Chain A
Amino acid sequence: MTGTNNLFAVGRIKALESNIIDINLWHRLFDMNEKEALRILQENHYGGDSGDQQELETMIDNELASVHQLIKEVSPQPILTNLFLLPVDGYNLKLLLKEKVQEVNVHSFLHEGGSISIDQMIDSLNADRFDFFPEPIERALLDLATQKDSRIISYTIDQAIYSQIFNILAQKKNHNHLLIEYFKSKIDFTNIITVLRGNALHWEAIRVKPMLLKGGEISLKIMESVVGAEKDKLIRKLSTGRYSLTIRKVLDEFYNDMKMISLEQSFNNALLSIVFEEKNDIFGLGPIINYLLQKEHEAQVLRVMFTGKRAGIELSISELGIV
């Protein structure tokens, strides 16, 4: 990418990067009780400057909504940066579909900041008119018209979201190696977590296979072959492709402590490191995407940290993926 209008966007993002919670603040938050930690977050203007005492979830929602809004505003290539907002749409769609099935109101759990407006999404779903959505999502919604199994709803929507992402990347052939690498790795890491979770719960292959997402670098055949497999076989087969060393390291660590949360955080960090390599490419999308992912990671860590504080669970700072 050579466009210099990128520089304005990167300038705004770099000025805001100093607001990302740094390692010192993480340590302080980690050592405090819930109430004090919330106060510190508010003092650091996390979640905006409403002045009122807010719940953590409200603060996180406000913070992420403002980040998503900023990305939409400044992005020199909104088609590409919107790909990172599609998972928010996926999350909202899953909730709204489950709302229909289970007849509960989920509107307060919906997240602002996706690439599709929530109101439009609700109107389309209520009217059963799906042509408003991108083609893979429209197809998935038609397939799910009578579906009541929330698990099938979840992975059908996830697959549709990734299909849409790769459709757009295929149309924009230039300058997207970072994005292809990121999303392919994300699918691989998600599939590995699915397999390991299935293995831990002793699920049979027939239950795990439909949950595996297509489009990753590691073939579905390899993924399916390790469902129910022992440690050595699993590590040997999955340690393949561009990130074979990372996968081997993360799996070795997982089999040492058997903590799913650490596994998820390690894969999350591996994904962040893919984008991190390009965070100083001031003429590319790297800094913008890196900021978005850092803020999403920050929100995720805050949620886990506060849940741990409320439940009285001792979590180490490395388990939370803070490096």
Chain B
Amino acid sequence: MSTGIIIAIFGAAICAALAGIGSAYGVQCAGQAAAGVCAEKPDLFGKLLVLQALPGTQGIYGFLVAVLIMVQTGVISGAPVDLTIQQGLAYLFAGLPIGIVGWWSGIYQGKTAAASILMTGKDPDASAKGITMTALVETYAILALLVSILLLFGIKI
């Protein structure tokens, strides 16, 4: 295995790991708030579940980019391509946007989701507003995902 492919694998791992950490924190944050509200108003479970799930998307985006890197570099098929160091670094840097933005936006979206869950707990009719406000944080994760994908498809091997 060349140094280039090891760097590319590191790029896949880092984007899945960072975005996953952000999502895990965000979902946990929202989950605690949802559990508190559900303890008093169990009938709100459905509305709260949507809000709790929203910060989980960053982890999926990170996973998606990691899989794309693995497909392009042949790691997933068990026949890794012989990459140069420059090509390996290109894959690493292509994975960074969704890794870093997914990490932070997952955390911030979790906090927004928690606040929206609390708002829904007080006024169940406000859940749609809460979903909209929480979804806005997602915009930046989607932009980062787009940049990562465009960069990936721009790499020539």
A10 touches B118 (CB 8 A): yes
Per-residue interface assignment for chain B, residues 117 to 143, with 1 indicating a CB less than 8 Å from any chain A CB and 0 otherwise: 111011100000000000000000000
Q: Does the CB pair B122–A11 fall under 8 Å?
A: no
Q: Which of A5, A16, A287 contacts B32 (CB 8 A)?
A: A5
> Among residues 1 to 33 in chain A, which have CB atoms less than 8 Å away from a CB atom of chain B?
4-5, 7-18
B117, closest chain A residue (CB): A11
Given A7-B114, A282-B115, A15:B121 Cβ within 8 A: yes
The answer to whether the Cβ of B73 comes within 8 Å of any Cβ in the partner chain is: no
A8-B35 contact, Cβ under 8 Å, with A15-B41, A282-B114, A282-B115: yes
Q: Would you call the interface of chain A mostly helix, strand, loop, or mixed?
A: helix
| Contact between A11 and B28, CB atoms less than 8 A apart | no
Q: A4-B29, A282-B115, A282-B118 known; A11 and B123 CB under 8 Å?
A: no
In the bound complex, do residue A4 and residue B35 qualify as a contact, i.e. CB atoms below 8 Å apart?
no
Residues on B with C-beta less than 8 A from A74 are 36
In the assembled complex, the Cα of A10 lies from the Cα of B36 at a distance in Å of: 7
A residues sitting closer than 8 Å to B (CB atoms) are 4-5, 7-18, 74, 280, 282, 287
22 contacts between A and B (CB under 8 A): A4-B28, A4-B32, A5-B32, A7-B29, A8-B32, A8-B33, A8-B35, A10-B118, A11-B35, A11-B117, A11-B118, A12-B39, A12-B40, A13-B36, A14-B119, A14-B121, A15-B40, A15-B41, A15-B121, A17-B122, A18-B123, A282-B114
Binding site for A on B (CB under 8 A): 28-29, 32-41, 44, 111, 114-115, 117-119, 121-123
Given contacts A7-B114, A10-B36, 18 further A-B contacts (CB under 8 A): A4-B28, A5-B32, A8-B32, A8-B33, A8-B35, A11-B33, A11-B34, A11-B37, A11-B38, A11-B121, A13-B36, A15-B44, A15-B121, A15-B122, A16-B40, A17-B121, A17-B122, A280-B115
